Amino acid sequence: MLAAKSARGLVAPAVILTAGVFLAPFLLLLAMSLWSQPPGSLMLDVTPTGENYRRITTDAYYMGGLARTIWLSLATTAICAVLSLPLAWWIVRRAGRFRGLILAVVLIPMVCGALLPTLGIVNLIGPLGVLNGTLKSLGLIERSWKLLGTQAGILIGLVHAFLPLMVLPLVASMDRLPRDAEGAAMSLGARRRAVWTRIILPLCAPGLLAGSALVFCATLTAFVTPLILGQGKIPTFATMAYQQASLVLDWPFASALAVVMLAILAAIGALGWAVRQALPGAAR
């Protein structure tokens, strides 16, 4: 055990760094979203105004983008959940000594960053890419299947990028399942489907919930994958914010877009927390 004084000293640099450099800007963002930038000027007008928010909520472009983004996030989360459950289960119960290797594969999208796998996906699903090339040479299709620049293409990229965020919490929660739970259920007469619906899914619910929240939030704010795989044709909320901040240079408006994203995430967080409380075994 350390004395409280030295413990505080040890923690201090990290706390200062995180609170000062990470947390403080979020507060400033709220203020900056109320500023304005007269058209054609780079000077900021710091008198508080709700104009930026009015523009977001009344312009169909932004509201449409928001709806599209939420739909993409929901779809990504659902697909990730469906793909992750069998994979996680297989990793925990069947992979045996290949477990490490398979987990390394699962980690790939996380450790390669947002960009490099996206580059591979471009060559995978592009008009001259591996997928279309294979299908064509097999004679299954005549003209290329258009994925790049469509929502389907973006969805492929998002699912790939954020699948680990779902698999890892699921693996962790399945690891905690008592090994004999299924056997016990079966000995009591439960069939395979009942074992899943009555034992495995309820016990994995916290992992599934955590994974879903992570995937949803990550998707909602992703802009690299949608921008590249959508080829700029499919604006999402995050790509709009990116363009305002980085290309249009209307920072107050970009701030307002960012605050809206933050608000949605806060709502998701609160919802997730409420669901978590309602789940059986919430006390743990």
Partner 1 sequence: MKLSAVLWALLTGAVLLFLLAPVAVLIFSAFDDGKFFRFPPRGLSLRWFGAALESPEYRSALINSTIIACVSTAISVTAGLMAATGLSRGGLKSRALVELLLLAPLTLPLVVWAIALLQIYARLGISGTFGGLVLAHAVITLPLSVRILLATLAGIDPQMEEAARSLGARPLRAFLRTTFPLALPGVLTAAVFSFLVSFNDVVVTTFIAGARWMTFPVRMYSQLRGQGVDPITLAIGAMIVALILAAVIAGELKFKWSRRL
User: Please, which of residues 204-263 interact with partner 1 by CB under 8 A?
Assistant: 214, 217, 220-221, 223-224, 227-228, 232, 238, 241-242, 245-246, 251, 254-255, 257-259, 261-262
* Lookup result for tokens 């450790």: 111
* Dist CA 192 CA 77 (whole Å): 25
Q: Is 47 helix (H, G, I), strand (E, B) or coil?
A: coil
Residue 160 beta carbon to partner 1: minimum distance, rounded to whole angstroms: 6
Q: In angstroms, what is the minimal distance from the CB of 95 to partner 1? A: 9
Q: Is 4 a binder of partner 1 (CB under 8 A)?
A: yes
113 binds partner 1 per the rule CB under 8 A = yes
If binding is defined by CB under 8 A, does position 41 make contact with partner 1?
Answer: no
Residues 49-78 that bind partner 1 (CB under 8 A): none
Q: 64 vs 113, which CB is nearer to partner 1?
A: 113
Q: How far is the CB of 98 from partner 1 (least distance, A)?
A: 10
Residues with Cβ within 8 Å of residue 71, at least 6 apart in sequence: none
Q: Report if residue 86 touches partner 1, rule: CB under 8 A.
A: yes
Contact in structure between 226 and 154 (CB atoms under 8 Å):
yes
Which residues are 45's β-sheet partners?
A: 36
| Of the candidate residues 100, 138, 188, 191, the single one contacting partner 1 (CB under 8 A) | 100
129 contributes a contact to partner 1 by CB under 8 A:
yes
Which residue stretches of the chain are H helix? Answer: 4-16, 24-32, 51-58, 60-93, 99-111, 115-125, 130-137, 151-175, 181-187, 192-194, 201-221, 224-229, 237-243, 251-278
Among the candidate windows 26-34, 54-62, 177-185, 201-209, which touches partner 1 by CB under 8 A?
26-34
Q: Which is nearer to partner 1, 40 or 100 (CB)?
A: 100
Asked if 122 is part of the footprint of partner 1 (rule: CB under 8 A), the reply reads yes
Among 70, 75, 114, 152, binds partner 1 (CB under 8 A): 114
In sequence order, what are the residues at sequence separation of 6 or more whose Cβ sits closer than 8 angstroms to the Cβ of residue 221? 238, 261, 265
**Rule CB under 8 A: is residue 18 a binding residue for partner 1?**
yes
Cβ-count burial 239-259 (b if 16+ within 10 Å, e if not):
bbbbbbbeeeebbbbbbbbbb
Instruction: Please report how close the Cβ of residue 174 comes to partner 1 at its closest, in angstroms.
Output: 13
Tokens 């980690």: give the residue.
107
Stretch that binds partner 1, among 11-19, 68-76, 201-209, 273-281 (CB under 8 A): 11-19
Cα separation, 269 vs 273, whole angstroms: 6
Which parts of 143-182 interact with partner 1 (CB under 8 A)?
A: 159-160, 163, 168, 171
User: From the CB of 125, what's the least distance to partner 1, in Å?
Assistant: 9
Q: Which two tokens stand for residue 221?
A: 């704010």
Tell me the C-alpha distance between 90 and 71, whole Å.
29
Are the beta carbons of 220 and 237 closer than 8 angstroms?
Answer: yes
Closer CB to partner 1, 18 or 57, in the complex: 18
Please report whether residue 1 would count as binding partner 1 according to CB under 8 A: yes
| Binds partner 1 (CB under 8 A): choice among 13, 38, 40, 189 | 13
